[in-house]
Amino acid sequence: MTTKAPFRADEVGSLLRPQRLKEARAAREAGTLDAAGLKAVEDECIREIVKRQEEVGLKAVTDGEFRRSWWHFDFMGGLEGVEVVEHDQGIQFSGVQTKSQTLAVKDKVAFGNHYMIDHFRFLKEVTSVEPKMTIPSPTVLHFRGGRRSISKDIYPDLDAFFADTAEAYAQAIKAFYDAGCRYLQFDDTVWAYLCSEKEMQAARDRGEETDGLQQIYADMINHALKAKPADMTITTHVCRGNFRSSWISEGGYEPVAETLLSKINYDGYFLEYDSDRAGGFEPLRFLPKGDKRVVLGLITSKSGDLESREDVLKRIEEASKFAPKEQFCLSPQCGFASTEEGNILTEEQQWAKLGFVVDVAKEVWGEI
């Protein structure tokens, strides 16, 4: 039996924001609602979606990232030395662009009194199952903005930046653990970008040194993971981009699979497999036999159409040709709202998909 995370039926993290939460955030930005008023609405909405997650049968729940605007910038901006700043353009997805913000490293990176620790504490208080916290991977702080976003006065040598960021994440792991967190997830678009020749060429075109990045990133993550106590689970989610049901990168996992699955000390991997953009299951052959698990993201969060049960069962069988089925779990391919705008589907469609994940997991593994 799978008694610890990741669970047979699991979820990536973010959930669609209710309309009253969107209105409250807009009122806060307009200055017609104070911080306490916004927090009261957030608290109420989080209680409701935690209850709904429990009702559909999930054994781990999140706060839906309801207190955030972005899946990554809000956490990164809370690190010492890092700021969220206005930019000349947004992040370009397939046919759509985000609002114009980015990250800037203006001082030494460190983990201090981060406000998201309190976000986790609240989640833990309002659930009777496993509270799951999601934060962006340390790799994102480098690749998202690159060398141009990192002060050359503070970090003339990027080796020091990589070391400081890795240590900041080690401290983050300790802080979340001390707050009671036993299930933490590093969300990561970078490994998918490393699989995309288009994205790698774009990085080279803007002056980035891409040789050796896999090893640099693996070393950063493994340094952070050394701080993980034995009774804590840390997973990662590899994402090809998720904004208003669009995406950024394409390409299978083959270029990074050996490093990602067998050389980084994660306990589990949420891997997108909802479209041809993710390639085939062959890279799963690098999953070491044992306790590590791959959570197959076979249920898309980008549309409300519910998948065929037969098709999902068939794809799980296909994946089991390359790694043991007992090391698999099931989830949506991504969150439903990586930014506060959310994907293009209804809340009821979202809950139907999460319930479907639970039902299929019971059928395949006899447990959730």
So what's the pLDDT on residue 220? 97
Q: Which fold has domain 19-365?
A: TIM Barrel (3.20.20)
Supply the DSSP symbol for 22.
H
What pLDDT does residue 241 have? Answer: 61
Specify the pLDDT at position 313.
98
User: How far is residue 221's CA from residue 236's CA, in Å, rounded to a whole number?
Assistant: 10
Q: Which of 19, 1, 22, 2 is nearest to 10 (CA)?
A: 2
- Which pLDDT score is estimated for 291? 95
pLDDT at 316: 98
Give dist(CA 53, CA 44) in Å, integer. 15
Helices (H), the chain: 19-30, 35-56, 73-76, 116-125, 138-143, 158-178, 190-193, 197-205, 213-225, 257, 309-319, 347-365
The whole-number pLDDT of residue 100 equals 59
What is the residue extent of each domain of the chain?
A: 19-365
The predicted pLDDT at position 52 comes to: 98
Collapsing DSSP to helix, strand or coil, 71 comes out as coil
Per-residue pLDDT of the chain (368 residues; tens, 9 = 90+): 446 899 999 999 999 999 999 999 999 989 999 999 999 999 999 999 999 999 999 999 999 999 998 778 899 999 999 998 876 554 444 444 445 578 899 999 999 999 999 999 999 999 999 999 999 999 999 887 778 889 999 999 999 999 999 999 999 999 999 999 999 999 998 898 888 777 777 778 777 777 889 999 999 999 999 999 999 999 999 987 654 445 455 668 999 999 999 999 999 999 999 877 778 999 999 999 999 999 999 999 988 899 999 999 999 999 999 999 999 999 999 999 877 877 779 999 999 999 999 999 999 999 99
**Alpha-carbon span 295 to 224, nearest angstrom:** 22
> Any idea what the Cα angle at residue 240 is, between residues 238 and 242, rounded to 5°?
105
For the sheet containing 133-136, what is the strand order? 133-136, 183-188, 233-238, 268-272, 293-299, 328-332
